[in-house]
Structure 1
């Protein structure tokens, strides 16, 4: 696996290179500036499999370099690990917003570097196996099918909406916050009402568009805060923001109406006019370790699932079944028309028989006097 490590501190760069070498990664290219690194990336013919960028560098910072690399088609999915001594929330936010896959805080242990790179190597190996075993057209078809076909429970990646992370990156983000200000944050979950029906009725791309527009509405309403969002699957969005944003969460109410058309001439015709988002009760983060951060996430999801179930139960209980529910008006009209046609046919047959016999036909039924 070919790795590019970038850091303006030559001693830190040497230590990182030694740590990688001790873990068995010898194919490492180093660079001491973001600008030089980007030129190297553009000129390289062998393609890098992983990047490690220092956040704070003069000129082009590691975050700016991350944005530029993500803008290159051939590197839009290559893992990028930010390596820095800065653990403040704003740096973590900026790194993940720029497209970082993970975040390694100095000082770090050699085994931690090896564990992170090991996961990266596995991803790169799978990607290499695909490219070697299929043609370019077959790969494009596979990627297109992968991008459009998702089960309802799949954590779909929603690109094109700022501050929306894919689910693995969101978990990594929670892990980094747990080292500093995670306990000062609020986690919340919001569920797309009737997600099962929408997923079953809409084409895959249109369902994904409903999710994308819903995510944008949520973030627009919370734009004053450093809110990050992810789609977890089953119609559920999960987000996190500073605790001082709890009042803003409360102001959302129980439901959010999403105008899916919004006078947009480019809106797919299959999209419904609107969708409803159910807002769950937020959970104030109290744990600092990774298991605790995931426990808060699951609690937030449980809150919104409970509220969605309660709303559905209440609506079913309040619904009064009428005659029209059992036998809808359209069905009534249809049956009445069929009866009228049948009566007209019987009457016509009786008149024809009378004209033939000169009298009404006698009943075959015996009448008791």
Structure 2
């Protein structure tokens, strides 16, 4: 299958390497940044090392997606609006686009191109980092990858999910795009790390490892409370099981999105020591978009979210923003009607009415 990978971050590098190794014809698009010479990547997984070459490496988005069976967008949620504006005009009807993960990017994509199918996952398929130009380390690959779409059902959605499962056989189809968005672990794991450790983050900078030094028992209690609010929101919205509790990962259960030894592989890789600040992806993706979405939906649904509210209050003060303004979310969605949101997630966005010609 032809798979187009969009972007130049950790996830895009990993997808180019992994999907090439899985036997797909991988096209790689970046907006402007240079590719490794010849689109060639050196990769390391937990059990092998080697090199792959993308079938195409191009800055021409139309050429990259033409005839592609699956368009994969492992880009931050904050980059989705600009990407969708460029992508929507060059998609073919019925083409499948997957955000990995999405933070409800399916909603925005489907409103721009209701004749395409937009999918999103509950996590990035990889725990991965680019270690040098043209080099990517992938110590962990997802073992159970929740994926939902808008529309959630129907022949077009079925065909898109089949293509996604061809690329990722570990895919677990969930009911729709909202289901997948509220399976996302990023807005649960990362905001407590930032909120609890902001002093150390700003004072110690690169001397502070947010994952090793910042994941104390108290922080993990906050994480558990935040995940309980996510699960309560899912229940209130009538989303079906599985609900993907985060404790499955910490307790190394085989029902997790990652294999039971994922934490051990992560520690062994030594990749997660990084400098994190208020301009980091954990903030602009998982706080400003992910947690803001979850808490706004909870408030619309009448579901208590004291932990999420407290985190957004603290980080909103630090950022100088009102992260608790529900209109911040309803304005982007174009509605605050939960019934409409659920219906659109299931059935897809309505096609725009044809223009009326005068005379």
Q: TM-score, normalised by structure 1?
A: 0.31
Larger Rg: 1
Higher RCO (C-alpha 8 Å, min separation 6):
2
| Greater share of helix | 1
Q: TM-score, normalised by structure 2?
A: 0.32
